Amino acid sequence: MRILVGRTPWSAADALVGPLRRVQRFAAGWRRRAGGPASSSLRRSESGQTAVEYGILYAGVIVPLTFAIIFVAEMLWVWHSVVDFTRDGAAYAATHCWSADGQNVRTYMQTHVPRMIDMDQFQQGQAQIAVQYYSRDPDTGSLIDFTCDGDCTVDCIPDAVTVSIQTYEFRRFVNFLGLPPVVIPDFHSSLPMESAGCDPEQGTCLP
């Protein structure tokens, strides 16, 4: 019988050593290559996808939302300005003499338009300024249209006045976007007459 010195008996585990080592060497090589050009291409692909997603978000959400906020803010600005504008016109009409056509009130308002968007519409007449005077019916107490034979006299003093802004259209941005203008409802402001600016003793009235 031959005795093998310095060698261990062969077993089935020895058959797995070679393939296992080859798998380990392959995995180590793959890990080294993962940090190379293939990984850079993957990172570039992910970066490009992120840029496309941000572009879609910016064009589809951020830009329209920004314009919508500006649009609503400007409309509210004009709304507040026109409300104050009609109140100022009514206060002027209540303290100045009556005129059948109300031209003195319109002239004042067109020359005192507050600084706001579309102020040219109020100055040039696209937005109409209407002035209506009323007298109180002694029997019913209701207001009726005021009529008188003269203009700017102490004999023609109505009881109340209403100033309104009509046919105003908000055109900011909508024309740029190719959309029709936004028609704003009429604004009204009514006040009782404060003697119409007339002095009975002097027989004069403020025009």
Report pLDDT digits (tens) over 98-156: 999 999 999 999 999 998 888 999 999 899 999 999 999 988 889 999 999 888 999 99
Q: What is the pLDDT of residue 57?
A: 75
Q: What is the pLDDT of residue 45?
A: 63
DSSP state of 61: I
Residue 23 — pLDDT band, cuts 50, 70, 90?
Answer: low
- Contact between 122 and 85 under an 8 Å Cβ cutoff? The reply is yes
Residue 1 — pLDDT band, cuts 50, 70, 90?
Answer: very low
In this predicted model, which residue has the larger pLDDT, 165 or 67?
Answer: 165
**Which residues fall within 8 angstroms of residue 51, CB to CB, at 6 or more apart?**
none
- Contact between 199 and 206 under an 8 Å Cβ cutoff? The reply is no
Residue recorded with tokens 């700017």 = 152
Residue 88 — pLDDT band, cuts 50, 70, 90?
Answer: very high
Q: What is the pLDDT of residue 4?
A: 46
Strands 169-170 and 182-183: antiparallel
Q: What is the pLDDT of residue 98?
A: 93
Enumerate helices (H) and strands (E) in the chain, giving the number of each.
5, 8
CB atoms within 10 A of CB 98: 26
% of the chain at pLDDT higher than 90:
37
Q: Look up the pTM and report it.
A: 0.69
Mean pLDDT of 69-91: 91
Residue recorded with tokens 């600084």 = 115
- Contact between 73 and 172 under an 8 Å Cβ cutoff? The reply is no
